[in-house]
A and B are shown apart, each in its own frame.
Chain A
Amino acid sequence: MVTDSDHLRNQRVVFYSDDIEQIDVVLAEFLELSGCKCNLLIDKEGHMVTSGGDTNSIDEQTVAALVAGSYAATREMAKLLGEDEFSVLFHQGKRDSIQLSMVGNRTIMATVFDDQTTVGMVRLYARAACEKLDAIFEEIRNRPQKKASLDAEFGSSAKGALDFFFTE
C-alpha cells in the first residue's frame, strides 16, 4: 500500500549537476538568440531550479514564489474557462517585461527582457527552448531513479543548525 509519506517522497524533486549543466546550455543559447536580460527556471512549488543571465538586480527567491503563485492562479482561471492551462503568460512593464512559459507539467521558465528585444523574438525562441527543456525533463523522468543521497551527517548538522538559528 502506498502511504502518504511514500507519495510525498516519490514526488520529491532531485536535480543533479549533469541535469543542470544540460539545462544551463539551453538557457544560455536562448538568452543569446533572444536578447533577453535573464531567465529563471522555477518549479511549480516556487523553488528555483537554475537561472541564467544578469539576475543581480532580482530577488530570485521572491520572484520564484510570486511566479509560481501567479501561474497557479492563472491555471485555475484557465480551468474555469474550460482550458487545461494557459501555457504562456506575459506581463508588460514600462521598462522591463516578463514572460512565463510552461515547460512540461511542473516547471516554469520566467524570462525578463527590455526594449533591446521584442515580444515576438522572445516568444519564438522561448518556444524552441521550452521544447528542448521538456525533452531534457522527459529524459530525467524516464531514466531509472537513483536514490538521492545526502551526507551521513545531515541529521546531526541539521539539528545543530536549528539550535543555532532559533536561539532567542
Chain B
Amino acid sequence: MVQINFALKEVNCKIVYYGPGLSGKTTNLEVVHQKAPDTSVGDLTSIATEGDRTLFFDFLPLNLGQVAGMKTKFQIYTVPGQVYYNSTRKLVLQGADGVVFVADSKRGKMNENIESLKNLEENLKEHGLDIANTPIILQYNKRDLPDVYSVEEMEEALNAWDAPHFEAVARDGKGVFPTLKRLAGMVLESLNENHAPRRSPSVVAPKVSADSSGGSTTATAVATSRTGTMRTQRTASVTGSVARTRASVSTQAPTVRTTSSGARPVLVTSPRRRKRRSSMVVGIVLTSIVAATVLLHLAGIIRILP
C-alpha cells in the first residue's frame, strides 16, 4: 500500500512483477536497472538460487523524482515464478499497489500463464484485494519467438477484465519501459484521486503499444534449484555485463510538468517558491494600503484617529 510520509516528503509505492517461471520478470527488472538514469535507481538485489532462478524476490528501488514537492519512489519486486514457491509469492505480493503480469507468449505456455494468473487472483484475494480493482498490466513477453500465440489469443485466454496490455521482448528491452510507465501512471492516478484536490488532472500515462520486431532469443537460465544464495547485483545487464556503479537514490530531481502532449516537460518553480512569491505580493499590497491611508490623512482628506 502507498505510504505517504509528510515528514520525509516522500510517497512510496510498491510494484510487483508476477507471472509463470521463466516468463521474463527478472529480465524486465534488469532492463529497468540498465536503462534508467544512474541517479534514479539503486542496486538490483536478487535473492536467487545458484542457477539464477529467483528464490524469494528481486528488488529494485526507483526514484521518479519530485512530484509536486514529494519525492516519489517505487519499490519494484519480482516474485519467484515456479509453482512450489507460492508461499514466498504471497509474501512479496503483500501491500502491492500495482502488478505487472508477465505472460510467456511461446506456444505451449498458455496453461502455465493461466495457472499463474489464477494464483495471482487467489493470492490477491488472501490480501483482501480483487484482481479486477487492482491496478494491473498484462505484458505479453517474448514476442520475437517464431512460434507464439497471437495477441488476440493471449487476450482471450488471459485478459478477462480488459486490463491494459503490452507486447514486449524484454530480453531486447522492448516494451519494458512502456509497461512500467503505464502501471506507475495507474498507481499514481489512484493516489491522486484519493489524496489530491479534484481539479488535478489525470496521471495515467498514454497507452503505448510496444512493437514486437524480429530477432531471435533464447529462454533465460535453466533451472537448477539448489541451495539459495543471496547476491547483490552491481552489473545488471541483459545483453552484456556493463558495470554500473552503485547509484544512491537522488533527491535532486527537478519538479516537472508537461507542456503539451508529446513535448518534454519543462522546469517550473517549486510550490515553496510560489508560496514565498504570493506572500511578497500580499506584503506589497498591504504596505501600499497603509502608505495611501497615511498620505490621505496628511492631506486632510481622511482622519485616522479622532
How far, in angstroms, from A15 to B10 measured CA to CA in the complex?
Answer: 10
Are A72's CB and B196's CB within 8 A?
Answer: no
Least Cβ distance of A136 to chain B in Å?
13
How many chain A residues touch B (CB < 8 A): the figure is 55
Q: Is A168 in contact with chain B by the CB < 8 A criterion?
A: yes
Least Cβ distance of B295 to chain A in Å?
39
Of residues 1 through 32 on chain B, the ones whose CB sits less than 8 Å from some CB of chain A are 1-8, 11-12, 14
Main secondary structure of the interface of A (DSSP, over half): helix
Are A7's CB and B128's CB within 8 A?
Answer: yes
Least Cβ distance of B254 to chain A in Å?
9
Measured between beta carbons, the chain A residues less than 8 angstroms from B158 are none
Q: Which of A3, A7, A66, A166 has the most B CB atoms < 10 Å from its CB? A: A166
How many chain B residues touch A (CB < 8 A): the figure is 81
Main secondary structure of the interface of B (DSSP, over half): mixed
Stretch binding the partner chain, chosen from A16-24, A108-116, A119-127? A16-24
Q: Is A141 in contact with chain B by the CB < 8 A criterion?
A: no
A and B contact pairs by CB, cutoff 8 A, 26 listed = A5-B190, A12-B2, A45-B3, A59-B246, A65-B77, A69-B47, A76-B87, A147-B195, A152-B196, A154-B70, A154-B196, A154-B200, A154-B203, A155-B189, A157-B66, A158-B68, A158-B72, A158-B189, A159-B258, A161-B66, A161-B253, A162-B181, A163-B205, A165-B65, A165-B181, A166-B184
**Could you list which residues of chain B lie within 8 angstroms of chain A, going by C-beta atoms?**
1-8, 11-12, 14, 35-37, 40, 42-43, 45, 47, 56-57, 59, 61, 64-70, 72-73, 75, 77, 87-88, 91-92, 94-95, 97, 128-130, 132-134, 177-178, 180-181, 184-185, 188-192, 194-197, 199-205, 232, 246, 248-249, 253, 255-258, 264-265, 271
